Each structure stands twice: as structure tokens, then as C-alpha cells.
Structure 1
């Protein structure tokens, strides 16, 4: 990464007259020498690569919460932001006995 010496902004890579340059919005330009060349590619993770593990030996914290299905009094719990960022996170529970999962909104 290169930063503009004039304004401190991250420099973008662009081509001008067949040459690669670092450029900035303020007008600063710098040649990219061959020793500092790089390649970058973005690879998005496809849904096929996402793995969900259904492990019965979960390492999540436990809490005393009654299961609505089997009435066991212990459950694993975790929180996820399922709604917009200005709303509280959703708390999930999973029964340690029957693996029934439910959620609680605050």
C-alpha cells in the first residue's frame, strides 16, 4: 500500500500512457517501479464453501434456560445481529439435551 505524501490518502493504481501509476485525488502521481509490482484478486466465498458444523460437543457458554420442547433446564446460548445495526442482537438458545433451538428478541 502506498499513501499520498501530500494529503495522506491511500493511492489508487491506474494506467496512463501504458504505464502503471499510483494516483491520488489531489493530483499527485508516482510511477510504480517493477520491484513493487503486485497482483491482487478478489475471491468471494460461494455458499457451497460455507460449512455448518452440527457438533454435539459444543464449546459455547451454557445458561439455565428451560427448553420449550423437552423442559430440560440447560441450554447453550449465543448472540447474532439479525436485524439492523441500531437494534439489539438476537439471542439464540440450543437445548443441551434435545438440541432444540429457539431465539429471543430483546
Structure 2
């Protein structure tokens, strides 16, 4: 991004072939002599686990429900209010099978 040195407005690409940047408010023009590209990799910030991570599943009860992924007949569950107070709670499940650990929700 380039800015005009006289009025500090952003310079836009010239509509006459794109060989220059020009200011919209004053007659300043910056001629493009060579192409320049740059690429910057953005570092994504680490996301927090909405359900509280592994510690949230330590002291929860289990119920008889079939896992969609492995077919195991038991899963841990917890209820969390994720919407407004007048909406019902959502029930989150985690498969009790140590090899599966699939998570899903109802509601």
C-alpha cells in the first residue's frame, strides 16, 4: 500500500493500463518501474477448547448410548448452556472406548 506524500491519501492503481499509482485528490502520480510481490505467512493463534479441554471430562458420568463412529454402547456426557437462558442446554458426549474418543452433541 502506498500513500500520497503531499496529502497522505491512499494511492490507487491508475485506470489507464495500471502502469502507475495515482492520488484521487491531488495530481500526484507514482510510476511503476518494476513488479514487486511479497508473501507473508500468518501465524494462527492457538484456540482455546470451548469444552474445557481434557480436564472437563475427568469427573463426568456415563450413559448408555451408541457411538456413531465405533458402535460402542457407552459414552460420557455433560450438559452445557451454550445459547441464551431461554434455550435448552446442549448435551455433549464422548465415547468411552479408549481407542475411539469420538465427541458429538445433541441439541
Larger radius of gyration: 2
Interval containing the TM-score (normalised by the shorter chain): 0.3 to 0.5
TM-score (norm 2): 0.46
TM-score (norm 1): 0.46
